[in-house]
């Protein structure tokens, strides 16, 4: 027989949003249960140097920051479980979530913090060079490329915005796009074409990321024409992949409202979803900022809203354990 657990607050996902939600929920004596899923700590566990998280004058490591958040959450009363939610029933109260372990979790309120992941090119050397010249976040890593040459790969709003942002740091920015027209908004294209630091390379795709030295670092991209197959070598110090993000919301399809890109839809100035008692925070609902500090802020918001929501429930339902 499957094990069954009940909690007043179930937090699904363990990144800055999830851990912050847990800290605030625990401090409100809600005894939250946080399930980490497949990647405890989220994207920051694969991020090396972090320089833009408030409170740290020196560079810190992403995995270390996530470890500290988890320890703080546990210290104030959060229970952390290492399970992955594979199904969710929102038609019942309390809600019923099924873990990959077979455990059934019931909860009076749920906070979705499963995040989103950058889409990558799928090149074999790509993963090993993350943090060594390959990135999917210009606002996170652009600072490291002052007076250097970088390339942005993509053709949508994100790619153009990343290229424009990088001109504040890099001396030269290439935008590599596999087609002959951009998909971004016209006003962004106008800014892009007007910037003397940016050069667009049309009708090319990245065939290989070349790295040299010890430790290895990006030195060039091998580009392949999409119209004729001809190749060229593009010397760069860094490559920013900007072909979109994929929110981790597959299990929530048909359960809570998602937008056309799969992000959880929440009410204005709120983390509340269209299902009363279910909230969402962090990159799983934020396709604009995608920063650790904004995710943490939304985690705080969600916990405060959950506290208010639970206070309005009948005493018997809210007190069940």
Which of these, 127, 125, 109, lies nearest to 117 by C-alpha position?
127
Q: Of 140, 237, 286, 300, which one is the catalytic site residue?
A: 140
Residue 82 φ then ψ, to 5°: -105, 80
What is the four-CA torsion angle of 54, 57, 63, 69, rounded to 10 degrees? Answer: -50
Instruction: Estimate to the nearest angstrom the gap between the alpha carbon of 315 and the chain centroid.
Output: 36
Look up 141 and say whether it is catalytic: yes
How many CB atoms are closer than 10 A to CB 285?
27
Q: Of 108, 141, 237, 283, which one is the catalytic site residue?
A: 141
Task: Write out the two tokens for 281.
Answer: 């925070």
**What is the rounded CA–CA span in Å between residue 45 and residue 142?**
19
- The helix/strand/coil state of 313 is coil
- Conformational region of residue 46, where left means phi above 0, alpha means psi within -120 to 50, and beta covers everything else: alpha
164: CB partners within 8 A, 6+ apart:
188, 191, 192, 195, 198
**What is the rounded CA–CA span in Å between residue 211 and residue 199?**
22
Look up 140 and say whether it is catalytic: yes
Helices (H), the chain: 16-27, 62-75, 138-141, 157-166, 186-194, 292-311, 315-319
| Strands (E) located in the chain | 4-12, 33-35, 49-50, 60-61, 79-81, 85-89, 95-99, 104-112, 116-118, 134-135, 149-153, 172-176, 198-201, 204-212, 217-225, 231-235, 238-241, 245-247, 278-280
End-to-end CA distance of the chain: 19
- For the annotated catalytic residues, the residue numbers are 137, 140-141
């Amino acid at each position: 027989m499957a094990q069954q657990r009940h909690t007043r607050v179930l937090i699904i996902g363990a990144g800055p949003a999830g851990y912050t939600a847990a800290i605030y929920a625990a401090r409100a004596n809600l005894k939250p249960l946080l399930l980490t899923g497949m990647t405890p700590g989220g994207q920051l566990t694969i991020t090396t140097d972090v320089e833009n998280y408030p409170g740290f004058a020196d560079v810190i490591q992403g995995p270390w920051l996530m470890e500290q958040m988890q320890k703080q959450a546990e210290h104030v009363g959060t229970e952390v479980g290492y399970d992955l939610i594979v199904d969710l029933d929102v038609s019942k109260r309390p809600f019923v979530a099924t873990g990959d372990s077979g455990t059934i979790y019931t909860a009076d309120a749920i906070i979705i913090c499963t995040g989103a992941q950058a889409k990558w090119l799928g090149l074999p050397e790509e993963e090993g060079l993350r943090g060594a010249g390959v990135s999917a976040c210009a606002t996170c890593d652009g600072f490291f490329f002052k007076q250097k040459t970088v390339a942005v790969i993509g053709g949508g709003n994100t790619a153009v915005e990343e290229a424009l942002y990088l001109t504040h740091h890099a001396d030269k920015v290439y935008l590599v796009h596999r087609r002959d027209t951009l998909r971004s908004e016209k006003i962004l294209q106008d800014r892009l074409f007007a910037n003397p630091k940016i050069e667009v390379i049309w009708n090319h795709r990245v065939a290989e990321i070349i790295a040299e030295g010890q430790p290895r670092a990006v030195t060039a991209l091998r580009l392949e024409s999409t119209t004729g197959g001809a190749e060229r070598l593009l010397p760069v110090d860094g490559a920013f992949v900007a072909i979109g993000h994929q929110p981790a919301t597959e299990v929530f399809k048909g359960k809570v409202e998602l937008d056309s890109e799969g992000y959880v839809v929440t009410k204005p100035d709120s983390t509340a979803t269209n299902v009363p008692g279910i909230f969402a925070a962090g990159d799983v609902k934020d396709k604009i900022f995608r920063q650790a500090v904004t995710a943490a802020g939304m985690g705080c918001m969600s916990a405060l809203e959950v506290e208010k929501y639970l206070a309005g429930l009948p005493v018997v339902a809210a007190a069940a354990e």
